Chains A and B, each alone.
Chain A
């Protein structure tokens, strides 16, 4: 099992819809979870972090964490074509605060 798993996509959603991106991780001891957005040819950009079970909202983005199921998701409400990018889930291993392990990323395409 990979340490951080994501569906590679592409996930195609119409403009205005909710995009749901999922990530599972293998280390039960992980305490911090991050979502990065990477546009083609650009560097990853941190968009959300979550540390506790439940939901965390920031504008159109909501991160959801379920540690019992080792599952973290990112919801993007009112998706816009400008949200089209690859979304990377990143998790540090237990005690490995100085190292983030990235999933392979999910490519999101928002079409008008």
Chain B
């Protein structure tokens, strides 16, 4: 009954490979996100989707391509992986509110290591 689930939890791959991370939420939220947490633990937004539509794309290299087949799923595909892509990637969801932001529920994270 996990609220936001991500797979895989760990991903070790070589430079130049292509990999995907999957995320699913069962909270009925309408907005999903991808955040990247680097080695200094700084959390930075990458993408945000609302009801399957991309609403935020933060200066992320176009090697990163998110896809949302429905509002409960948001996947992240990364092409031509580079060493600098090594980080923990968190999926999150929230219910968008016109009166102000709601807190997010985060998935458990995917630790990506590019060697």
| A residues neighboring B (CB under 8 Å) | 31-32, 34, 36, 38, 42-46, 49, 51, 86, 88, 90, 92, 96-102, 104-105
Contacts and interface: CB of A to CB of B under 8 A. Distances in A.
A88 B37 CA distance: 12
Contacts of B108: 42-43
Question: Would you call the interface of chain A mostly helix, strand, loop, or mixed?
Answer: loop
Contact of B97 (A45, A88, A97): A97
Contacts of B106: 43-45
Interface of B: 31, 40-45, 48, 50, 55-56, 90, 96-98, 100-109
A104 B55 CA distance: 24
A43 B97 contact: no
A32 B42 contact: no
B100 A31 contact: yes
Given A34-B103, A49-B103, A51-B100, A44 B90 contact: yes
